Structure 1
Amino acid sequence: MAQYALEVQSLTKRIGKKTIVDDVSFSIEKGEIFGLLGPNGAGKTTIIRMIVSLINRTGGHVIVNGHNLDEAFKETMSEIGAIVENPEFYKYMSGYKNLIHYARMADKEIPESRIEEVIELVGLKNAIHNKVKTYSLGMRQRLGVAQALLHNPSLLVLDEPTNGLDPQGIREFRDYLHSLASQGISVLVSSHLLSEMQLMCNRFAIIDKGKLTHISNMNDSVEGSDQELRDVIFEVENVENAVELLKTNGLIKEVKASKGQEFTIAIKRDTIARANQILVQNNIDVYGISSVKATLEDRFLELTNKDQKEQSL
């Protein structure tokens, strides 16, 4: 049984003398939502188009569920469902008739029970017999996912799937993807909406100028390691005495912010308990301790700025 839903090995795309995608490699586990992040023009869409065979690769390999795209094209593509651009449907037909139409074009027979199953899965049961022209953008996106899932793929590939959706539509779409992942379907998604990707993905990779510059688990990357400084808010009885105690014991050098009974300091995660212990032992009541979590946007800017500085040296 294949270990990964998708393996991308040394993917490269050159047009003339210009390298658009440069030796990109990553893998996606089964049931994982994996995000491709990067500025416009970084190469994200080119990578996705090569994975789903919309454009040729200059080099590298694409392996889906153990099937190499070069050696078993039909078997590999049957494992992939994709929405690379806004899904297009016959607007004068109902959602159901559109799905019937796509099912008839599939390489293998798709029973009516499967069509009903994907309709239920994407939450369109109450609107599936309405004409597509009456659908909201979010409903059309969900119908697109239903169409991509008809042939029961193991990997769903989505390029900017939440473009144009309102906040409610984005949240619903995210929930559908989590539901799919819980059933073992893997998802590769690209987007420039970093706050949304933070809520959606298990892991992410940053693509910049065609190169893969960073890849990590979402929670680990945002929260940082135990040895990294993080902003922590302490709510205490006496801020002035608390700060002096922490400075005297060498736990902090300065306070980043202070308001009322709260003060914010930069401290390592494994030092927070020690700071609390010192305060309590010195009869300073501690009412609350909370971390100021960095956002994916903070981490993204930190990583991309770091890469730019390194390249300029």
Structure 2
Amino acid sequence: MSVNALEVRSLTKVIGKKRIVDDVSFSVHKGEIFGLLGPNGAGKTTIIRMIVSLIKRTNGAVIVNGNNLDEQFKETMSEIGAIVENPEFYKYMSGYKNLKHYANMAIKEVSDERIKEVARLVKLEDAIHQKVKTYSLGMRQRLGVAQALLHNPSLLILDEPTNGLDPQGIREFRDYLHSLAREGISVLVSSHLLSEMQLMCDRFAIIEKGRLIHISSMKETMEEDQAAEVVFEVSDSKKAADVLKNQVAASKIKVISEEQFSVYVERTGISTINKLLISNDIDVYGISRVTATLEDRFLEITNKEAVREA
């Protein structure tokens, strides 16, 4: 049985009488990108700060590659590379000199060859000797990842890493994280940008008001056999709608044009509707299921949670 790259057990943070983080537990598998989703103020950054020991935990344990952070602090922290909020560098120095500065402070010895290697990994080898003040925001973010990877950690933790990046920079950063995961590095990333996390993560957890309310794989979430809008292209949409009114609630049927209508139905009901239309001499030219986005699923999950609490 393989050991998880990260296990967070009953993580809790209480300040005064307020529970900022409430009994949160999850794990990150080796070589996967795991996302913490939630609105600003949900507790994502507090969770990350506790994992990397920037703030004290009220309760709970952090396990990295089977090692308890409280029992083997130096060894465990040496397995973690992190960017919490925006990476900061000396702008009057080159990217290389900044990395050299951080290398000198590392617990593990970092060779000049390793600095060159991480510069290549983040695709900064052509600009590594330029001053950081000449770097774009995306380049500074990649330099931050290089700094986090200097000591060759097995777990990379990133808090809102795409903040301020343009679409091209976000895509490049996402592709880079995927390449790291393919090399076996595990990534924990927090964000409130749901569309981006949908493309980036293997699994995710939703944090709301300091509590974990949902956890699943991205693939399972997006492929669930839940009811969805399905668009049919037919010879006569009005006739089709009349036929279906005896089988499907009228409120779930919407005529779009003379040859298109949509119906809100579960996946298993699509073939039944298709057979019904054909048996009533209605030609079916096309069927397309409107795929739900992560934003749709996020709102559905959080709305259910709100109803449960009411």
Separation of aligned partners in 1, 2:126 and 2:99: 15
- Are 1:293 and 2:259 an aligned pair? no
Structure 2: 5+ residue stretches without partners: none
* Separation (CA, whole Å) in 2 of partners of 1:104 and 1:94: 16
> Quick one: distance in 1 between partners of 2:98 and 2:242?
69
Q: Residue 263 of structure 2 aligns to a residue in which SS?
A: strand
Check 1:173–1:147 CA distance in 2 against 1; reply closer, same or farther (3 A cut). same
Q: What is the percent sequence identity of the aligned residues? A: 71
Partner of 1:26: 26
TM-score (norm 1): 0.93
Distance in 2, matches of 1:28 and 1:266, equals 36
Superposed displacement of residue 252, structure 1 = 5.8
Matched, 1:139 2:139: yes
Task: Give the alignment's Cα RMSD to 1 decimal.
Answer: 1.7
Match of 1:243 in 2: 241
Hey, what does 1:270 align to over in structure 2?
A: 268
Q: Which residue of 2 aligns with 1:60?
A: 60
Q: Residue 124 of structure 2: SS of its match in structure 1?
A: coil
Q: CA deviation at 1:260?
A: 3.8
- Mapped to 1, the partners of 2:132 and 2:40 lie a distance apart of 31
Per-residue Cα deviation, 1:32-77 (whole angstroms, up to 9, x for no partner): 1111111222111110000001011111100011111011111111
1:128 aligned residue: 128
- SS of 2:39's equivalent in the other structure is coil
Query: 1:290 and 1:44 mapped to 2: Cα distance?
Result: 37
Paired with 1:178 and 1:276, the residues of 2 have a C-alpha distance of: 40
Counterpart of 2:227 in structure 1 is 229
Question: Structure 2 CA distance, aligned partners of 1:72 and 1:66?
Answer: 10
Contact 1:251 1:275 survives alignment (8 Å) = no
Gaps of 5+ in 1: none
Q: Deviation per CA, 1:190-237, whole angstroms, max 9, x where unpaired?
A: 11111111111111111111111111222322343x2x2111111122
Q: Deviations over 1:148-172 (max 9, x none)?
A: 0111111111111111111111111
TM-score by length of 2: 0.94
State the SS of the aligned residue for 1:119.
helix
Tell me how far apart the structure 2 counterparts of residues 256 and 157 of structure 1 sit (CA, whole Å): 46
Give, as a single letter, the amino acid of the residue that structure 2 aligns with 1:47.
I
The corresponding residue for 2:43 is 43
Write the distance in 1 (CA, Å) between the matches of 2:34 and 2:309: 27
Question: 1:257–1:118: structure 2 CA closer, same or farther, 3 Å change rule?
Answer: farther
In 1: Cα distance, 2:126 partner to 2:243 partner: 62
State the Cα distance separating 1:244 from its structure 2 match.
3.4
